[in-house]
Amino acid sequence: MGKVLMKGNEVIGESAIKAGCHYFFGYPITPQSELVAYMAKRLPEVGGLFLQAESEVSAINMVYGAASAGVRVMTSSSSPGFSLKQEGISFLAAANLPAVIVNIARGGPGLGNIQPAQSDYFQVTKGGGHGDYYTPVLAPSTLQEIVDLTQEAFRIADQYRTPVILLGDGVLGQMMEPVEFKETSEEMHLFEKDWATTGTVGDGPPKTITSLDLNDVSLEERNRKLQEKYETIKDQEVRVESYKMDDAIYGIVAYGTVARIVKSAVDRAREAGMKVGLIRPISLWPFPSSYIRKLSEQLQLNKLLTVEMSAGQMVEDVRLSVEGIVPVHFYGRNGGVIPTVDEIYQEILKLKYGVMV
């Protein structure tokens, strides 16, 4: 297949379908509505089911139902709508149900606005709903990467029986870029789901899927198993990219849209002779902590700078990663404002020359 020019939201939809997801329950909200519209159009064409629920809460619970039946299923929203899904995500995590949930984040808190933001980082990486759980979070920074990571999201969801979050923002959702879809039928990882509640036909005891467990001892055991699963995910599913870090003495940490802007700023700083590079976490949970720590030690980095479209959320994970061995600076814009290449370049200069007058 050749390259096609598509909007990010549509790329997510097509990638999901190519990954074998034929069920989508959603509710429109800017800046992710094109994804809902795309699924409404495309799913009937591939024999799937699209349903626009009456609210985000009911959409996520429809996902719970479809996941229980063992199919690949997805829902999507943007920040305020994503908050409404949190109860359901906690239920999915507790019931060990695989599903992919997309958040094309926008400025908050509250209803905020419809411009791009990264201020849902805490919410998506620290559980977000009630109880002790985590969800793997994948954060693409180009539309081509959306193609790969959407498929990975379904693989991770099925392999570990967990909800997985694909995190983007308004820029990634709205922009167009050429993408190439691979023919996935050969490589597509489909998992045997012997736990799915598809009805017994006299072949054994009935199966149940529930997040309710009134017995404290067995609920603790459930929690222990969940935590064990999270340890395996932390061990196996870390993704990170570095750019021009080989001889760097300053490292910029950024993800998603901001990582692209930082790349441009890094190029400019390199032209000005500064030894600076980019560390781009792709999985936000599990966070590439040991990678950042080791790189900081090996290169004897002088300073790290975290850039986000938030008041400073991922920067906490960066600081926890390096445990004080290297100072971590922060630059952020929020409320839907996107940091410019020039602003970030100025921040890089500050790393070298201190605060500019």
Partner 1 sequence: MKEEIIIAGFGGQGVMSMGQILTYAGMKEGKEVSWLPSYGPEQRGGTANVSVVISDKTVGSPIIDSPSTVIVLNNPSFEKFEPLVKAGGKLFINSDLVTKKSERIDIEVIDIKATSIADKVGNPRVAGSVILGAYIEKTGIITRDSLITALIQVLGVGKNHLISVNEAAFDAGKNILLENV
Q: Which two tokens stand for residue 105?
A: 């984040």
**Which string of x and - marks every residue 98-117 that binds partner 1 (by CB under 8 A)?**
---------------xxx--
One-letter amino acid at 172 equals L
- 3-state DSSP assignment of residue 249: coil
Q: How far is the CB of 93 from partner 1 (least distance, A)?
A: 32
Contact 138, 166 (CB under 8 A): yes
**Which string of x and - marks every residue 34-73 that binds partner 1 (by CB under 8 A)?**
----------------------------------------
**Which string of x and - marks every residue 320-349 that binds partner 1 (by CB under 8 A)?**
----------------x-x-xxx-------
Of residues 145 through 204, those in contact with partner 1 by CB under 8 A are 170-171, 174-178
User: Own/partner pairs for 326-330, CB < 8 Å, 24+ apart?
Assistant: 326/296, 326/301, 326/302, 327/303, 328/303, 328/304, 329/303, 329/304, 329/305, 330/305, 330/306
User: What's phi and psi for 107, nearest 5 deg?
Assistant: -65, 135
- Judged by CB under 8 A, the residue of 13, 31, 81, 129 near partner 1 is 31
Of residues 214 through 273, those in contact with partner 1 by CB under 8 A are 260-261, 263-264, 267
Of the pair 11, 92, the CB lying nearest partner 1 is at: 11
Of the pair 8, 70, the CB lying nearest partner 1 is at: 8
Q: How far is the CB of 5 from partner 1 (least distance, A)?
A: 6
The kind and range of the H/E element at 259 are helix 256-271
Q: How far is the CB of 89 from partner 1 (least distance, A)?
A: 27
The kind and range of the H/E element at 147 are helix 143-160
Q: Is the peptide bond before 31 cis (omega within 30 degrees of 0)?
A: yes
Q: Is 305 in the site for partner 1 (CB under 8 A)?
A: no
User: What's phi and psi for 52, nearest 5 deg?
Assistant: -90, 115
Of the pair 113, 302, the CB lying nearest partner 1 is at: 113
Q: How far is the CB of 54 from partner 1 (least distance, A)?
A: 25
Contact 63, 16 (CB under 8 A): no
Of the pair 267, 316, the CB lying nearest partner 1 is at: 267
CA separation for the pair 240, 255 (Å, rounded): 9
Kindly determine how many residues on this chain lie close enough to bind partner 1 according to the rule CB under 8 A: 24
- Binding region for partner 1 (CB under 8 A): 3, 5, 30-31, 113-115, 170-171, 174-178, 260-261, 263-264, 267, 336, 338, 340-342
